[in-house]
Amino acid sequence: MRNIQLINRMTEYYTGDPKRIQHFIKVYELSKIIGQQEGLDDTTQYILETAAIVHDIGIKAAEEKYGDCNGKLQEKEGPAIAEKMLSELGYEENIIKRVSYLVGHHHTYTDIDGKDYQILIEADFLVNLYEDGESKKSAETVLNKIFKTKAGQKLLINMYGLQ
Ligand SMILES: [Fe+2]
């Protein structure tokens, strides 16, 4: 229920920007679907879904401050804004802490330290590859280099007709 409020808040936050609204909703749904098949415990699943909703929250601030929204700037700006929104909605401290960490690392593909982190990255790639019109070849490279979960691999293989 709290995540529905969060989805509404994020929709307001990105008002006038349908691409970003559709982006985070897709990343959220794919994260949810992958997490459910990978047998996450309830807390990790909740953290994953929450992080997926707010993962790109730093984009706006990065654009406003630097006129650029590359991955590193998003990671820098995102955590504080996410923490504020989550505390306003009454999320528990341990959830906020991990979600904030994930927001601050979702463009970093080294030292992935948990299934929540791994799945968030996979879901974001599934959506970004498509939204950026990437080739089958790029999808294959990402599959080999980044994807680790069975459910994520299966989604990517089927989307691009790989193997
Ligand atoms: Fe994203």
pLDDT tens digit sequence for 134-163: 999 999 999 999 999 999 999 999 999 998
* Cα dist from 149 to 1, 89, 121, 144, 162, whole Å: 27, 31, 11, 11, 16
CA of 151 to the centre of ligand 1 (A): 19
Counted residue by residue, the chain has a size of 163
For residue 144, give its domain range.
Answer: 2-160
CA of 136 to the centre of ligand 1 (A): 20
pLDDT classification of 64: cutoffs 50, 70, 90: confident
For residue 94, how far is its CA from the centre of ligand 1 (angstroms)?
A: 23
Q: What percent of the chain has pLDDT over 90?
A: 89
pLDDT at residue 68, rounded to an integer: 80
For position 77, what pLDDT does the model report? 92
Phi-psi category of 39—alpha, beta or left, where left has phi over 0 and alpha has psi -120 to 50? left
pLDDT score of 108: 94
The percent of residues in the chain predicted with pLDDT above 70, rounded, is 100
pLDDT above 90: residue 57 = yes
Q: How far is the CA of 23 from the centre of ligand 1 (A)?
A: 7
C-alpha to C-alpha distance for 60 and 78, rounded to whole angstroms: 9
Backbone angles phi, psi at 24, to 5 degrees: -70, -30
φ and ψ of 162, to 5 deg: -85, 155
Q: CATH number, domain at 39?
A: 1.10.3210.10
How many domains, the chain? 1
The pTM of this model reads 0.96
Instruction: Please list all protein residues whose beta carbon sits less than 5 angstroms from ligand 1, which is an ion.
Output: 56, 124
